[in-house]
Structure 1
Amino acid sequence: MILRLFAALALSLAMAGPGTSQDADAPIQQLLQEHSEIIQSSSRRTIQPAIDAIRDSGLGEAQLVLEKWAAREMWLDEATGLFVYAEEVNRDTLRIFDFATGEAIGEVPDETYDQIKPNSGIRGLIGSALVKFQLSDPDPENRLAALTALERNGNESHLPVLRDSIADEPDAAIKARKERIERLLTISYGATAEERIEAISAFEGDLGVDARAALNPLVATTRRAATELPENMNIARVLRVGRDLEPEEAYDLLVAADLAPERLTRDAQRQALQANIIEGKVGGVPVSALFDPTVRDTAYAALVDAGLAEAAATEADVDQSIADHVFFETYAERDEAVTTAAQEALNAIELKVGMNQFFDLSLDALSLASIYFLAAIGLAITFGVMGVINMAHGEFIMMGAYTGYVIQQVIPNYTVSILVAIPVAFAVTFAAGVAMERLVIRWLYSRPLETLLATFGISIALQQIAKNVFGTQARPLTSPGWLDGAWIMNDVVSISYIRIAIFVLALIFLAFFLFLMKKTRLGLETRAVTQNPKMAASMGINPDRVNMLTFGLGSGIAGIAGVAIGLYAKVTSELGSDYIVQSFMTVVVGGVGNIWGTLLGATMIGFLQKGIEWLNPSNTLAAQTYMIVFIIIFIQFRPRGIIALKGRAAGD
């Protein structure tokens, strides 16, 4: 202990030497001394004048003081009452610095200094005060951080500070953001109604969530009740009982405003009457007469007069009280011109939001249509061209997705693995399709029922094989990093990059299929076999070979669709069954055997499904049901689809 005291004494003597004294007459120190008492008390209710005085002092050291204070690095010398900031050297020693010069004063024992510990509320106030300095900070990141803080917790005191910083802002993007926040703060804290209305008008049709967040409080209403309409309130509308609000709600407003007593419920009245039966009477009324509601009210009133029950309103009292009062809604904003401008701006915003929501819904529908098109384009070949009802088509999609998963286990680079997976998935499912056609389908041509049953059995077998090989747990097919995120057009419209990639892939396959059918020998032979297989055979075309390649091509395209779908859907053995129904509907609605019909069918079903889901978002199953019912009705009027095809596939 003696050694410790000696060390402290030696340290104090060392600090008393030249160059280690603190400037007590410095302006910043004088300012701190002026507010020393409330700084030490650290009360959120009383601290604001000290914070404002430091912030508005114009002293170069003001920012340093506020930063150290908020960081709990400000200390008070108990002997001299001067403020310093410090860093801990060790458990018992501080290295202290002068606020005026920023120079180190020396090292002292912490027992001679008192740490200023602002609570979270005071630190929040200090943080708000620091915005003034951060808005003009040379570092753009600090200015952006200050603007983010203003967006979250901006108040009236920030408005003049923000305005002062706009003119000298060198960065155009930051300046535009400052101007936007300035208008948002002006809406709530502008000095005059004209100033606020001008700021409100600037946001007409603006899609930003922050604009709606600033405008909505201006038109927020509160329901009130009074004996007559007040003249000093901004009344939104007068409410009529029975039309705008129920009588129960109206009376609750009267009770909340202390304009009427609590309602007397039948149970409470009955219990009070039963508890005060004396010699067959209640409040002087015979029990035998209490069957009449009016008599019961009279008996209860007698109990109230005698102090045996609490005063409460009867049904008649409730009706009379409602009739004697008016009910209305008032704006929180008192200026009528401001609320009118805010409502007009919100109406313009609502109209533009609705238009953008429709555009966003259309993008979602196009995205879904591209997925259905990819899933159905292979089926359009096998079913539309060949007339084969392939219930295992969904499993080829599943095989393609699992092929992509296996490739990613071998090639960890997601971009390279996806580029490799697309041709490999085509090759795998093409081979599987050729094998299926050679072993099963070729023996069942012109026998649709047997084909359906056989392919359905193959579908079940392929699902079980997938479960045995990969298990029942969903496997990840990870998209490349450059496909993460979404293209955000505004606060309403956005679309994920994966959906965009699938849409582009669908367009590529549309072009590929058109080229294949119009410009290649296989396409020519396929079209010939489709129109008249016997005549095609007589011209030297082998229909069996064309059917094999066509079926393999349709299966291979399904495999590629599986890779694309697996990028955003769960890769499981049931993946294909989720798309087989939509694929058949797409082909049938569009027109059997026509690629343009398939495209139109996919677009129609995509828009239809998204539209139904928008109207009934809480019930996806109902949306699917409505869509199927609509398709059934559509087929009654267009049995051959949107674009009918002549030839074998059309039944001619």
Structure 2
Amino acid sequence: MRSFILALTASLCLALPLQAQDAPPAPPAAESTISGLAGVIAGHADAIAKPSRQTIGPVIAAITATADPGVRDFLRSWTDRTLGQRKSDGAIFRIEKAGDGYRLADPLTGADAGTAARADISEIKPNAGVQGLIAGALVQFQLSDPDPAKRRAALDTLAREATAENLAPLRAAIDDEPDAAIKAQKQRVERLLTIRFGETPEERVDAIQSFGGDMGLDYRATLNPILAVARKAFAAAPEGNVARELKPGQGIDAEEAYALLVSAGLAPKRLTHAEQRAALEAHIADGAVGGIPVAELAEQSARDRAYTALEAAGQVPQAATDDEVSAAIAAHRYADIYAEPSEAVTEAAAAALKSVSLKVDAMYGLDLGLDALSLTSIYFLAAIGLAITFGVMRVINMAHGEFITMGAYTGYVVQSYISDYTTSIIVALPLAFAVTFLAGVAMERLVIRHLYKRPLETLLATFGISIALQQLFKNIFGTQARPLTAPSWLDGAWALNDIVSISYIRIAIFVLAMIFLGVFLFVMNRTRLGLEVRAVTQNPSMAASMGINPDRINMLCFGFGSGIAGIAGVAIGLFAKVTSELGSDYIVQSFMTVVVGGVGNIFGTLAGAALVGTLQKLIEAVNPSNTLAAQTYMILFIIIFIQFRPRGIIALKGRAAGD
């Protein structure tokens, strides 16, 4: 019995190692005791501490896949750079500077975890690329954030940097969205992401077609990459989603075709004449190269045969001669291949872009028209005062631009004392008129009235005054641009869609120009002053015989025109830099507006402003990169126009017309 027990004990002892060998190894302590998000963080601590945009993606995906309630707070701490790694054991904590060290907290719960010396902690500072990936992962949590602003920000992030993983959380967040506007935005972004990341071509095509004739920039920006193509060469029939097949000389030249063959490994590198000559010279033997006498190598075809013989003998590297290049090009096929593999998706995208192209072109035309209308109102406002002085008095006032500058500086001075921008503009407009009116009257009394009927002397005198006023502005206000701030209700722009928009400041200038057109027409047609001005304009001698004082009318007209220039300066200063040269930027266009429209006629000035403004915008649209060339072309056109219609669009009879 005793021997039996000993034998049984021995057999059990021998069996134990065998059982231990068959059993699976025990997991490490860390992995067996830590699970969920904490386990992912512990298992990837080093990658989290030193993240790289190229390698951190799987780690972020593993963190979000845990669906742990602490994922959002951990990711926020990571992107806010408030995480640190303890050097002794590699553990990750939330950190906060406290004296000479750090206060530690659990990275998930925020529970206090003691303190550590500064030398024991390495701060985790992800770069901008990694922060972008983390922000993309945070989006799914922000889509359901109680704060509407954060939900909108999350949608903006998705519109810029979405991934396929964001589509499911976005769809889940749509039905429970309480805000109708945000819900509509979520639905739009969901359709855009479906176009890019939908699981099936049918789903993506349905998303494309759901937009109908939408002209949104985000929609078109989503469709355009689908139609991106890469040009490739093939030994047989083109493979993939073919956009169009090309033939040498029809859509692709020979050089590009052979370059595609070389890059695809379908043909050897092309042999240049210099390389061929050097190779042949290096292999001359017994008066021949490759069996071809040197005397025959004067012809290119003979040199090609000689190099081919050397290739066959393995004496030179493989390279293509001209004949071989031509043969290789003819033996292969070429095509533009869509990057998108689904033909149905590319067809739907192409059809959608084509359907909105006409609308987009029409919207661009409308936007160009609004820009031209805006520029027309600016030129009209700047030129209306010049039209009065030049039309009635026949005075070429080269200082008209400085009256515009004077009005802008008046607005700046008013805003220096009145901080409310709306009130300051209301005060600045009549004050600018008064200041420039008095300056114009003083200029007329002191200089202009002594130079009537002497246009050259008047031009030189006003040009000198222009230079003097510019220097005076520099002495008073300096050479730096001064701010003339528009009220807050003029901030932004009226946008019809992603294409058509116009700033509220330009709309206000257009309204101001129309107001002055109405005021001018009322004064000229409904007041005694207007009657006297029209009489002096038509026939000053007859007007004087009827008891009208032409000298007084000239003075008032010059002051009135200068006053309007001052108001124009306030308006222009709201969107342009207020400097001493502000007026000189508009003086040439103002003269062109008056001359082209018709001297002395307000509707002619309006027509001239419309022609000059529209023409400038059209030329800039054709040649947007060179504004100087656009101005040159515009001046040339106007010179030609004046040759055929020297009195302008609307000619005025009387003294202003030279009768």
Alignment TM class, shorter chain as reference: 0.7 to 0.9
Aligned equivalents of 1:93, 1:562: Cα separation in 2: 59
Q: Is 1:199 the counterpart of 2:207 in the alignment?
A: yes
Which amino acid is the alignment partner of residue 423 of structure 1?
Answer: P
Q: 1:170 aligns with which of 178, 190, 196?
A: 178
> Aligned runs of 1:65-464 on 2, under 5 Å?
65-67=74-76, 73=83, 94-97=103-106, 99=108, 102=109, 104=111, 107=114, 125-231=133-239, 233-278=240-285, 280-408=287-415, 414-445=421-452, 447=453, 450-464=454-468
Name the SS of the counterpart of 1:310 in structure 2: coil
Q: Which moved more, 1:107-116 or 1:387-396?
A: 107-116
Task: Say whether the 8 Å CA contact 2:384–2:605 is kept in structure 1.
Answer: yes
Residues 1:592 and 1:278: Cα distance change in structure 2 (over 3 Å)? same
Residues 1:38 and 1:117: Cα distance change in structure 2 (over 3 Å)? farther
Q: Which moved more, 1:465-474 or 1:328-337?
A: 465-474
Residues 1:48 and 1:393: Cα distance change in structure 2 (over 3 Å)? closer
Aligned equivalents of 1:574, 1:524: Cα separation in 2: 36
Q: 2:649 aligns with which of 635, 642, 645?
A: 642
Aligned equivalents of 1:125, 1:581: Cα separation in 2: 54
Residues 1:198 and 1:74: Cα distance change in structure 2 (over 3 Å)? farther
Which amino acid is the alignment partner of residue 458 of structure 1?
Answer: T
Q: Is 1:475 the counterpart of 2:475 in the alignment?
A: no
- Tell me by how many angstroms 1:304 deviates: 2.5
- For 1:534, the equivalent position in structure 2 comes to 541
Which amino acid is the alignment partner of residue 332 of structure 1?
Answer: A
Residues 1:283 and 1:424: Cα distance change in structure 2 (over 3 Å)? same
Which amino acid is the alignment partner of residue 174 of structure 1?
Answer: I
- Tell me by how many angstroms 1:577 deviates: 3.5
Name the SS of the counterpart of 2:230 in structure 1: strand
Q: Is 1:628 the counterpart of 2:635 in the alignment?
A: yes
Which amino acid is the alignment partner of residue 464 of structure 1?
Answer: A
Residues 1:77 and 1:185: Cα distance change in structure 2 (over 3 Å)? same
Aligned equivalents of 2:396, 2:87: Cα separation in 1: 90
Q: Which moved more, 1:244-253 or 1:50-59?
A: 50-59
- Tell me by how many angstroms 1:53 deviates: 5.8
Q: Which moved more, 1:203-212 or 1:516-525?
A: 203-212
- Tell me by how many angstroms 1:106 deviates: 5.5
Residues 1:49 and 1:593: Cα distance change in structure 2 (over 3 Å)? closer
Residues 1:78 and 1:617: Cα distance change in structure 2 (over 3 Å)? closer
- For 2:15, the equivalent position in structure 1 comes to none
Aligned equivalents of 2:640, 2:140: Cα separation in 1: 66
Q: 1:579 aligns with which of 586, 592, 608?
A: 586
- For 2:35, the equivalent position in structure 1 comes to 30
Name the SS of the counterpart of 2:173 in structure 1: helix
Aligned equivalents of 2:98, 2:580: Cα separation in 1: 63
Q: 1:619 aligns with which of 626, 640, 651?
A: 626
Name the SS of the counterpart of 1:223 in structure 2: strand
Q: 2:44 aligns with which of 39, 47, 60?
A: 39
- Tell me by how many angstroms 1:586 deviates: 1.6
Residues 1:54 and 1:588: Cα distance change in structure 2 (over 3 Å)? closer
Task: Say whether the 8 Å CA contact 2:470–2:581 is kept in structure 1.
Answer: no
Q: Deviations over 1:197-245 (max 9, x none)?
A: 11112334333332222111111001011122245x1100001211201
Aligned equivalents of 1:97, 1:306: Cα separation in 2: 73
Which amino acid is the alignment partner of residue 302 of structure 2?
Answer: V
- Tell me by how many angstroms 1:163 deviates: 0.4
Name the SS of the counterpart of 2:334 in structure 1: strand
How many residue pairs get aligned? The number is 621
Which amino acid is the alignment partner of residue 233 of structure 2?
Answer: A
Which amino acid is the alignment partner of residue 139 of structure 1?
Answer: D
Aligned equivalents of 1:33, 1:379: Cα separation in 2: 77
Q: Which moved more, 1:260-269 or 1:408-417?
A: 408-417
Which amino acid is the alignment partner of residue 478 of structure 1?
Answer: L
Q: Which moved more, 1:494-503 or 1:590-599?
A: 494-503
Task: Say whether the 8 Å CA contact 1:28–1:62 is kept in structure 2.
Answer: no
Which amino acid is the alignment partner of residue 454 of structure 1?
Answer: T
Aligned equivalents of 1:253, 1:409: Cα separation in 2: 66
Q: Deviations over 1:233-261 (max 9, x none)?
A: 11000012112011000000001110000
Q: Deviations over 1:324-348 (max 9, x none)?
A: 1110011111111110110111223
Q: What percentage of residue pairs aligned between the two structures are identical?
A: 57
Which amino acid is the alignment partner of residue 208 of structure 1?
Answer: G
Name the SS of the counterpart of 2:360 in structure 1: helix
Aligned equivalents of 2:55, 2:578: Cα separation in 1: 61
Task: Say whether the 8 Å CA contact 2:100–2:118 is kept in structure 1.
Answer: no
TM-score by length of 1: 0.85
- Tell me by how many angstroms 1:125 deviates: 4.9
Q: Which moved more, 1:479-488 or 1:306-315?
A: 479-488
Aligned equivalents of 1:116, 1:430: Cα separation in 2: 67
Aligned equivalents of 2:140, 2:217: Cα separation in 1: 25
Aligned equivalents of 1:119, 1:408: Cα separation in 2: 46
Name the SS of the counterpart of 1:613 in structure 2: helix
Aligned equivalents of 1:83, 1:391: Cα separation in 2: 74
Which amino acid is the alignment partner of residue 567 of structure 2?
Answer: I
- Tell me by how many angstroms 1:322 deviates: 0.7
Name the SS of the counterpart of 1:442 in structure 2: helix
Aligned equivalents of 1:522, 1:573: Cα separation in 2: 34
- For 1:11, the equivalent position in structure 2 comes to none
Task: Say whether the 8 Å CA contact 1:600–1:642 is kept in structure 2.
Answer: yes
Aligned equivalents of 1:47, 1:571: Cα separation in 2: 51
Q: 2:556 aligns with which of 546, 549, 561?
A: 549
Task: Say whether the 8 Å CA contact 2:433–2:566 is kept in structure 1.
Answer: yes
Residues 1:95 and 1:395: Cα distance change in structure 2 (over 3 Å)? closer
Q: Which moved more, 1:611-620 or 1:384-393?
A: 384-393
Which amino acid is the alignment partner of residue 600 of structure 1?
Answer: A
Aligned equivalents of 1:466, 1:201: Cα separation in 2: 60
Q: Deviations over 1:545-595 (max 9, x none)?
A: 112211221122122223323333344444434333322222222222221
Residues 1:51 and 1:549: Cα distance change in structure 2 (over 3 Å)? closer
Q: Which moved more, 1:477-486 or 1:155-164?
A: 477-486
Task: Say whether the 8 Å CA contact 2:366–2:500 is kept in structure 1.
Answer: yes
Task: Say whether the 8 Å CA contact 2:40–2:63 is kept in structure 1.
Answer: no
Task: Say whether the 8 Å CA contact 1:371–1:502 is kept in structure 2.
Answer: yes
Which amino acid is the alignment partner of residue 183 of structure 1?
Answer: R
Structure 2 unaligned regions, length at least 5? 1-28
Residues 1:84 and 1:300: Cα distance change in structure 2 (over 3 Å)? closer
Aligned equivalents of 2:627, 2:41: Cα separation in 1: 65
Q: 1:506 aligns with which of 497, 502, 513?
A: 513
Q: Deviations over 1:100-144 (max 9, x none)?
A: xx4746636689999896955766555433332221122223322
Which amino acid is the alignment partner of residue 442 of structure 1?
Answer: R
Task: Say whether the 8 Å CA contact 1:42–1:118 is kept in structure 2.
Answer: no
Which amino acid is the alignment partner of residue 39 of structure 1?
Answer: H
- Tell me by how many angstroms 1:417 deviates: 4.3
